Amino acid sequence: MGVYSKPVVFAILSAVVILIGTVVTVFIPMLMPSTQPVSDYVKPYTVVELEGRDIYIREGCNNCHTQTVRPLRTEVLRYGEYSKPEEFAYDRPFLWGSRRTGPDLNRVGGKYPDSWHYKHMKSPQSMFDKSNMPPYGWMAENRLDTRYSKKKISILGYGYTEEEVERQIAGYKARVTSPSYDSKEARNEVTPEELRNELTEMDAVIAYLQKLGRDVKNMEAEE
């Protein structure tokens, strides 16, 4: 009887059946600019923030942390302004997450000084003894690998020139290694002697965390 005795026809028919929902809910929205709007307020990541984001991905922080504040009263109270689609225009991949073992991080930028993060990343339990977040002190013992930064920026199309990439890296390094850096003490505490004048993975992750939600906060401040 019909398709039930024709495997190849059956396969083609199945493919058509599964593609209908796929086209309507995935492919068509992709062609609509309103799905992923852009805003002048939201800037691409700097090179160091991007490197930090890649470490966040490598360590699977997204397995415990979400990055979308939902438009619910208690959620806005807890984390801040709810997330807007514009904020994610430069996110490849997106990092919204599916599980909140730890708090949402989409508004964490500017919430704490860098020094707080150095201490917290080194040992969450030293700040909150009941936290189950893994300690990441070893990140401060790894020099930040920027060999691929230029290539990454060109793939992502952030539009920085090669000199700009180098300038950003040097600029951030100058900031965190400068004697006047406001979180110098905490940084020195977690960073081994020989890396204090270098950029570490921990520096980059913290740069990234401080970027999260910053553009939205700036926008609100201007309004």
Partner 1 sequence: MKENSYDYQIVRGFTFSALFWLIIGLIVGLWIAFQMFNPALNLTPWLSFGRLRVVHTNGLGLGFGLAGIFACSYYMLQKLSRTPLVFPRLAKAHLYLFNVIIALAALSLFAGMNTSKEYAELEWPLDIAVVVMWVIFAINVFATLVKRQEKQMYVSLWYIIAMTVTIAVLYIVNNLEVPVNLFKSYSVYAGVNDANVQWWYGHNIVGFIFTVPILAMFYYFLPVSTGLPLFSHRLSIISFWSLIFAYLWTGAHHLMLTPLPEWIQTVGIAFSIFLIAPSWGSVINGYYTLRGNWEQMRSNYLVKFFILGITFYGLQTIQGPTQGLRTLTSFFHYTDWVIGHVHMGTMGWVTMTISAAFYYMIPKITGTGLYSIRIANVHFWLILVGQLVWTVTMWIGGIQQGAMWKATDPDGSLTYNFLDSIASLYPYYKIRFAAGIVYFAGIILFAWNLVMTIRKSQEVKNQPLNR
Q: Which residues bind ligand HEM (CB under 6 A)?
A: 98-99, 101
Query: Which residue number has the CB closest to ligand HEC?
Result: 102
The answer to the question of residue 21 lying near partner 1 (CB under 8 A) is yes
Query: Which residue, 106 or 160, has its beta carbon nearer to ligand HEC?
Result: 106
**Per-position x/- string for 35-74, each x denoting binding to partner 1 as judged by CB under 8 A, each - no binding:** xx-----------------x--xxxxxxxx-x-x-xxx-x
Which residues, listed in sequence order, are joined to residue 143 by a DSSP beta bridge?
A: 200
Q: Which does 20 bind (CB under 5 to 8 A by kind): ligand HEM, ligand HEC, partner 1, none?
A: partner 1
Question: 7: phi > 0 → left, psi -120 to 50 → alpha, else beta; which?
Answer: alpha
**How many residues of this chain bind partner 1 (CB under 8 A)?**
77
Torsion angles phi and psi, residue 150, rounded to 5: -65, -45
Binding range to partner 1, per CB under 8 A, among 21-29, 168-176, 178-186, 215-223: 21-29
Q: How far, CA to CA in Å, does 50 sit from each of 44, 77, 123, 195, 208? A: 9, 29, 23, 20, 7
Q: Which stretch binds partner 1 (CB under 8 A): 15-23, 162-170, 180-188, 204-212?
A: 15-23
Contact 23, 15 (CB under 8 A): no
Does 20 engage in binding with partner 1 (CB under 8 A)? Answer: yes
Query: Of the two residues 110 and 137, which places its CB atom closer to partner 1 in the complex?
Result: 137
Interface residue list for ligand HEC (CB under 6 A): 56, 59, 61, 63-65, 101-103, 105, 108, 111, 124, 128, 131-134, 136, 205, 209
List strand residue ranges (DSSP E) for the chain, in order: none
Residue recorded with tokens 């997204």: 62
Following DSSP, what letter does each residue of 141-171 receive, concatenated?
GSB---TTHHHHHHHHT----HHHHHHHHHH
**What value, to the nearest 5°, has the Cα angle with vertex 127 and ends 109 and 135?**
80
